[in-house]
Amino acid sequence: MDILKVIDLEKSYIDPDTKDHFKAVDGISFEIKANQIYGILGPNGAGKTTTLEMIEGLTDIDGGFAYVKGINVAEKPFEVKEIIGVQLQSNEYFDSLSLKELLILFGKLYENDVDVAELLNSVNLIDKINAKPEELSGGQKQRFSIACALVNKPDVLFLDEPTTGLDPQAKHNLWKLIRHLNQLGMSIVLTTHNMEEAENLCHKVAIMDKGKIITEGSPNDLIAKFDSDNTEKGNLENVFLHLTGRDLRD
């Protein structure tokens, strides 16, 4: 069964400068099988975050449909919120609360009693149980925000650029955690513009540009298809640049 199904999803905004409508997400469709890690790749402004926000119920859907485990997001957003876990790009929390207090609070939002120790163990932060988020390093902060997204034992986990700004050690550590969660049976959707990350983690990727999905497939298939002329072993980065062009994006 598809754990996530998106059909002709659309979102338009009004450009504050030109007052023109533009489509941030322009009729995209994809589906994700249970237990997959699915990567949405794209340059800045491609519409990756907007796509996630529509599926998460954060942003209204202008056109098309999104179903999580068969539940229509637009019709039953609160039912969807119960079964998904979300990590946002910005990770700030209420002041002066410890990790323990924050996890208990997040648990309450789902009417769950959280096993804080187990949760912090799973993200390797048990020794920081009484620390405040602002005292954590970048990698620790990301792991903590994943812990927050796990309080409801979600079926699907959404990660928005989880490794942006992390050093290589922290990045690899986080990949390990994501793989581990996937092995436990969780479906994971992540956005990234790190090709290495997509190649390493994802079973399937979609490359997005200007609100559209321009190609979709497993990293190996895409490399074989678009970067086969390369004498050395091809990589996803070349595929990406080939498809989205080398122009600078803002």
Token output for 139: 């990698």
**Nearer to another protein (CB atom), residue 55 or residue 178:** 55
Q: Nearest distance from residue 86's CB to another protein, in Å? A: 4
Q: Nearest distance from residue 212's CB to another protein, in Å? A: 24
Helix or strand holding residue 72 (H, E) = strand 71-72
**Nearer to another protein (CB atom), residue 93 or residue 226:** 93
For 163-169, which contacts have Cβ atoms below 8 Å and span 24 or more sequence positions? 163/192, 163/194, 163/197, 164/89, 164/192, 164/193, 164/194, 165/138, 166/138, 166/139, 166/142, 167/138, 167/139, 169/139
Token output for 179: 């793989």
**Nearer to another protein (CB atom), residue 119 or residue 239:** 119
| C-alpha to C-alpha distance for 85 and 107, rounded to whole angstroms | 12
**Nearer to another protein (CB atom), residue 131 or residue 214:** 131
Q: Nearest distance from residue 100's CB to another protein, in Å? A: 12
| C-alpha to C-alpha distance for 249 and 33, rounded to whole angstroms | 32
**Nearer to another protein (CB atom), residue 39 or residue 57:** 57
CA terminus-to-terminus distance, the chain: 38
**Nearer to another protein (CB atom), residue 188 or residue 207:** 188
Q: Which residues bind another protein (CB under 8 A)?
A: 56-60, 78, 81-82, 84, 86, 88-97, 101, 105-106, 108-111, 148, 152
Please return the burial class of 183, using the count of CB atoms within 10 Å of its CB with bins 0-12, 13-18 and 19+.
exposed
Q: Nearest distance from residue 214's CB to another protein, in Å? A: 28
Q: Nearest distance from residue 71's CB to another protein, in Å? A: 13
Q: Nearest distance from residue 81's CB to another protein, in Å? A: 4
